[in-house]
Structure 1
Amino acid sequence: MDLKTAAALRRLRLVSAPEAVSFLLLLICSVLKRTTDFNAVPVMGMIHGVLFILYIVFWADAWNRTRWPLGRAALYAVLSVLPTGGFFAERKLAREGEAAVAAAREAEAGAGVSAA
């Protein structure tokens, strides 16, 4: 895995949990708007919108760089529209990133042994 691919996965991973938190807070604000005089929906809506757009941009970049199969790319897209999906995406991306780094280190070690 090259550095740009690893960076794309890391960016997607880092934005997935805050996007999920903002979605949950937006849902809470929507309920509070209907049941009380508290109305933070415009502010939370803007915050969530920006984080969601970042998630989609980073998702597209990661998909382009990693060449995920359509099923995996669709899974990460669907997780972005579920209220707690970002937490699952973050955990899955962390495992995928760790596995990719381990594979790259093994390949690097194997190349160093064969070059010597």
Structure 2
Amino acid sequence: MLKLLPIFRITALLEGVSYILLLFIATPIKYFANDPQYVKMLGMPHGLLFIAYVVMTVLISKDMKWTNRTLWVVLLASIIPFGTFYIDKKYLNKKANA
């Protein structure tokens, strides 16, 4: 399953970027400019990336030898802006370079 690690890192990056775009660009445009097209355009890709992130987290958690606490931290990071970038730096980058 560690072969999934590079794919997981890319998924985490894309999920984080899509979340930031959705929260800080598309949502303000929706409410301040009354233009919901960007939320509609970014919502589905972000949702799919979020689901992929959660599924891949569970799949690689045993191979990464994460404790239950670490698993929950990695999962919760997906709902915090910039959280997936922190997870990549703290938990994923070490294994990728090893």
TM-score bracket, normalised by the shorter chain, equals 0.7 to 0.9
8 Å CA contact 1:16–1:87 kept in 2: the answer is: yes
Instruction: Report the Cα distance in structure 1 between the residues aligned to 2:7 and 2:89, rounded to whole angstroms.
Output: 13
* Count of paired positions: 95
Q: Structure 2: how far apart are the matches of 1:25 and 1:66?
A: 29
Unaligned runs of 5+ in 2: none
Sort the Cα spacing of 1:66 and 1:95 in 2 relative to 1 into closer, same or farther, 3 A: closer
Percent identical pairs in the alignment equals 28
Letter matched to residue 34 of structure 1 = Y
Q: Report the structure number with the largest CA radius of gyration.
A: 1
- Deviation >4 Å, runs of 4+: none
**Taking structure 2 as the reference length, what is the TM-score of the superposition?**
0.86
Length-normalised TM-score, structure 1: 0.74
* Alignment gaps of 5+ in structure 1: 102-116
What's the RMSD between the two structures over aligned residues? Answer: 1.4
Distance 1:11 1:51 in 2: 12
SS at the partner of 2:63?
Answer: helix
